[in-house]
């Protein structure tokens, strides 16, 4: 299996072949996860530390479960109660953890670029679980696996990504991935929620939702990232729902077999109507959660193989 990477910091660093390798392995883990006994020993003997400097429910749970199913020793650092609160820098925390010899470090941080900074200081494999508005690679990969399983392919699909594009690391990673896999991307949202330099993203941009959804195969909704907004980006949630909230009437403009996605957590009645979110004929939101565990297992498995190979090479060198 060819996956020549030491860390998983972003989709930016992954060529299409690496994406396909990872998704193919994740498909195998989906099958394992549906069995009664879900254990493998791919990470046996290895230590995984999860460091979440920002709130997370599903991503942290998903990484924890993924590590445990693969036999790793998994530790969750309670960052809120740690020395970080006492003023320790990110790098000091990283060096302290590094001294405990982890093999896999899963990091979420509110600052864009913080995870890459940390990766440069430690000896283990680092997985980015979301850094600011920059990247969230495992989310884009689980979205890709969900789409590939529902549509049978990733190329030549029309994917509409709707809502708060400007503050969304999910959107950024998905745009990079889907562009790389040759899908057509439409970004839909109010101009205030479009990032600067949007023209360079290679996507079509719409501020009218119905026009943007026309014929789309995949409709990906995003949460309004209020924690990353420092002013009035939208007139009101009510007005936002009226123009950009996904309801049955707007969804009718997409392809008849379009799937509806959302990374969670959802704000029902703000970006999506609750009934659409729960409609098992359209919504694949629960599948996304299922694929999340499998994708994280695949990512950690591939990085651990490289880690072991690199260490093996070193031991041989020392012994020679
Ligand atoms: C996303 C995130 O944290 O970026 N959630 C997730 O990982 N499931 C999206 C969001 O918070 O809106």
**16-33 and 169-180 helices, crossing angle to 10°:** 110
Is 275:93 a contact under the CB 8 Å cutoff?
A: no
3-state DSSP assignment of residue 281: coil
Give the model's pLDDT for residue 55: 85
Average pLDDT rounded to a whole number, residues 280-293: 98
pLDDT band of 320, cuts 50, 70, 90 = low
Q: pLDDT grade, residue 200 (50/70/90)?
A: confident
Q: Indicate the pTM of the whole model.
A: 0.95
Looking at residue 81, what DSSP letter applies? G
Nearest 10 degrees: Cα torsion 235, 241, 242, 246: 150
User: Count of CB atoms within 10 A of residue 93's CB?
Assistant: 18
- Segment 157-173 shows an average pLDDT of 97
Based on the number of CB atoms within 10 Å of its own CB, is 13 exposed (0-12), middle (13-18) or buried (19 or more)? middle
Tell me the DSSP string of 147-182: HHHHHS-SSS-EEEEES--TT-HHHHHHHHHHHHTT
Ligand 1 atom with the smallest distance to the CA of 108 is 3
Question: How would you classify residue 152: left for phi > 0, otherwise alpha for psi between -120 and 50, otherwise beta?
Answer: left
Q: How far apart are CA 198 and CA 272, in angstroms?
A: 24
pLDDT band, very low/low/confident/very high, at 82 (cuts 50, 70, 90): low
Find, among 271, 289, 178, the residue nearest to 221 by Cα.
Answer: 271
What is the reported pLDDT for 215? Answer: 98
- Alpha carbons 159 and 65: distance in angstroms, whole number: 30
Mutation probe of ligand 1 site: the residue of 161, 263, 286, 288 with most atoms within 8 A of C-beta: 263
Share of the chain residues as helix, strand and coil, in percent rounded to the nearest 5: 45, 15, 40
Question: Looking at ligand 1, which residue's alpha carbon is closest to its atom 7?
Answer: 59
- pLDDT (average), residues 231-250: 91
For the CA of 223, the nearest atom of ligand 1: 12
Phi then psi dihedrals of residue 24, to 5 deg: -65, -40
d(CA 154, CA 159): 10
Residue 177 tokens read as 């991935």
Examine the pLDDT at 131 and tell me if it is beyond 70.
yes
pLDDT at 15 over 70: yes
Residue tagged 């302290």 (tokens): 96
Q: How far is the CA of 265 from the centre of ligand 1 (A)?
A: 7
Helix (H) or strand (E) holding 291: helix 285-319
* C-alpha 319 – ligand 1 centre gap (Å): 46
Pairing mode, strands 158-162 and 184-188? parallel
Hey, is 195 helix, strand or coil? coil
86 vs 156, higher pLDDT: 156
What's the distance, CA 25 to chain centroid? Answer: 17
270 lines ligand 1 (CB under 6 A): no
Q: Which atom belonging to ligand 1 lies closest to the Cα atom of 292?
A: 8
* pLDDT band with cut points at 50, 70 and 90 for residue 91: confident
Average pLDDT over residues 35-46: 96
pLDDT at 87 over 90: no
Q: In the chain, what is the straight-line distance between the N-terminal and C-terminal CA atoms, in Å?
A: 27
264 lines ligand 1 (CB under 6 A): yes
Q: What mean pLDDT do residues 4-22 have?
A: 97
For residue 58 and ligand 1, the question of a CB distance below 6 A is answered with yes
Please give the mean pLDDT across all residues of the chain.
Answer: 93
């Amino acid at each position: 299996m060819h996956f020549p990477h030491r860390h998983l910091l972003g989709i930016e660093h992954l060529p299409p072949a690496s994406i396909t390798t990872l998704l193919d392995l994740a498909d195998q883990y989906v099958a394992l996860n549906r069995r009664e006994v879900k254990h493998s020993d791919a990470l046996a003997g290895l230590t995984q530390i999860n460091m979440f400097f920002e709130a997370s429910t599903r991503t942290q749970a998903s990484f924890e479960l993924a590590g445990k199913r693969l036999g790793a020793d998994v530790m969750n650092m309670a960052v809120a109660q740690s020395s970080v609160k006492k003023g320790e820098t990110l790098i000091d925390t990283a060096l302290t953890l590094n001294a405990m010899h982890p093999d896999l470090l899963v990091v979420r941080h509110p600052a864009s670029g913080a995870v890459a900074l940390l990766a440069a200081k430690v000896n283990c494999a680092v997985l980015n679980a979301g850094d600011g508005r920059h990247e969230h690679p495992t989310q884009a990969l689980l979205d890709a696996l969900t789409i590939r399983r529902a549509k049978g392919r990733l190329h030549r699909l029309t994917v509409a990504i709707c809502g708060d594009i400007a503050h969304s690391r999910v959107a950024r990673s998905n745009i990079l991935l889907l562009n790389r896999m040759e899908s057509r991307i439409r970004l839909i949202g109010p101009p205030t929620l479009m990032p600067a330099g949007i023209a360079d993203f290679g996507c079509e941009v719409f501020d009218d939702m119905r026009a943007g959804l026309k014929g789309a195969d995949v409709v990906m909704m995003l949460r309004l990232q209020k924690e990353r907004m420092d002013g009035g980006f939208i007139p009101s949630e009510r007005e936002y729902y009226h123009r950009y909230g996904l309801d049955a009437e707007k969804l009718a403009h997409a392809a008849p077999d379009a799937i509806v996605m959302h990374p969670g957590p959802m704000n029902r009645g703000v970006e999506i109507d609750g009934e659409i979110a729960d409609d098992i004929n359209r919504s694949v939101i629960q599948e996304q959660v299922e694929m999340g565990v499998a994708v994280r297992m695949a990512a950690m498995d591939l990085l651990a193989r490289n880690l072991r190979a690199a260490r093996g090479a070193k031991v041989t060198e020392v012994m020679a």
